[in-house]
Amino acid sequence: MNRSNTKREEFPGGAGLIRASRRVASLALMLLILLIGCAGDQRTGAEAAGPTIGTVTLGELDHALYPTLTDTVLTEPSDFVLAHDRIWVAETRASIVTVLDRDFRLVRQIGRRGKGPGELTDPFTVRVRDGRVSAGDRGTGRFEFFDTLGAGLGSLPLRAGHEHVLLGPDRLVAVDMDSTTLGTLIEPDGATPFGSSPSGDGGIRTYVPMSNLHRATLDGAPVILLVPQNSAALHIHDLDGQHIETRELPEEILAELRAYRESVAEMFGSAVVGSSLVKQVGVSQDGRVVTITMMSETAPVLIHDLDRRRILYLDTSGHPLAGRVKNARTAVYDDGLLYLLSDASLFAFELDLPD
């Protein structure tokens, strides 16, 4: 793939009455949330420890990668992360991990289709840390390991969910069915329960595999985040698995998300919509910014600034490519850009977080 395959998208003009009305509703919601957030800044004591709420405006499209008539670079991607100034994409249908540079140029492809060593059939998650790449593969039932150049480094059995974090060369924690622990520690010698309950008080999750698991950084220290899809709460643990704190979404945000889910359920049925609020979770390279793609038109992306204890709504009102954001499966903020993965496409938008 060369730079010619990275096509810039034209901004279409005009908007229908329905889209305009949605923008007005979205702006009204944002104003209400800002007023509530400002009021929250004046609280004292335990209440003041809650997150502040604000908005950040989506900038212009920086660059994009999407299928053309002659070339499809990504084939049914399911997950991506940023690490080592590279973009690592798990491609479920192609059974590979594709590595791109920050300008979306192809660097290499890792793995090949099959069930033998170094092979993949259904990679659904990818993680990269300390020169090691791991892919949670539902088809082979393994976590497959590679170095950053693509050489196979062995595997561990997928004894729990495919969502996982790397703790060392041959150690990882994966989500499991037991809500009384953070997850399952998987090592060459076997698997054992790991950590305290996500809430620190006996467990809060219902269906644990429907949770996202990532490493992040809080006040300069590495932590593990567990984000259940049905609550979007951040359950923060240290690397020994002990619960540090839980950050629930403020009620005003949850109310908006529930209202949107109910409106969709009325159109398509509750069985289709389910109970999920979260699509997926992304983390910046420095671990300080957590990005959650949501089941919502008016709040498609929430950005958590961990150290500053604030939540930022992504304001896409009036943006000609707002639909790209609403359809995104995964988002990652890093170094002034918001990366969005959607179907077979990858986008990078300018995004400046307020000081």
Axis-axis angle for helices 251-268, 17-41 (nearest 10):
160
Domain extent for 20: 13-350
Rounded CA-CA distance 341/295 in Å is 15
Domain assignment of residue 5, yes or no: no
* Residue 97 · residue 146 · CB < 8 Å: yes
Under DSSP, is residue 337 helix (H, G, I), strand (E, B) or coil? strand
* Residue 313 · residue 305 · CB < 8 Å: no
Number of domains making up the chain: 1
Domain assignment of residue 1, yes or no: no
Rounded CA-CA distance 121/94 in Å is 8
* Residue 320 · residue 347 · CB < 8 Å: no
Domain assignment of residue 64, yes or no: yes
Rounded CA-CA distance 241/244 in Å is 9
* Residue 22 · residue 30 · CB < 8 Å: no
State both tokens at 27: 């702006």
Domain assignment of residue 3, yes or no: no
Which pLDDT does position 7 carry in this prediction? 38
Rounded CA-CA distance 284/338 in Å is 10
Domain assignment of residue 2, yes or no: no
When computed from its CA atoms, the radius of gyration of the chain, rounded to whole angstroms, is 20
Rounded to 5°, the CA angle 255-257-261 comes to 115
The amino acid at residue 120 is L
- pLDDT under 50: residue ranges of the chain: 1-48, 203, 205-207, 209, 272
Which pLDDT does position 28 carry in this prediction? 45
pLDDT in tens, 208-264: 547 899 999 999 999 999 998 888 999 999 999 999 999 999 888 888 888 877 777
Domain assignment of residue 7, yes or no: no
Which pLDDT does position 313 carry in this prediction? 93
Rounded CA-CA distance 122/115 in Å is 10
Please, what is the end-to-end C-alpha distance for the chain in angstroms? Answer: 38
In the chain, which ranges are continuous DSSP H helix?
A: 17-41, 251-268, 270-273, 322-326
* Burial (0-12, 13-18, 19+ Cβ within 10 Å), 154: middle
Domain assignment of residue 6, yes or no: no
- Phi, psi (5° rounding) for residue 53? -125, 135
Domain assignment of residue 355, yes or no: no
Provide the CATH number for the domain around residue 193: 2.120.10.30
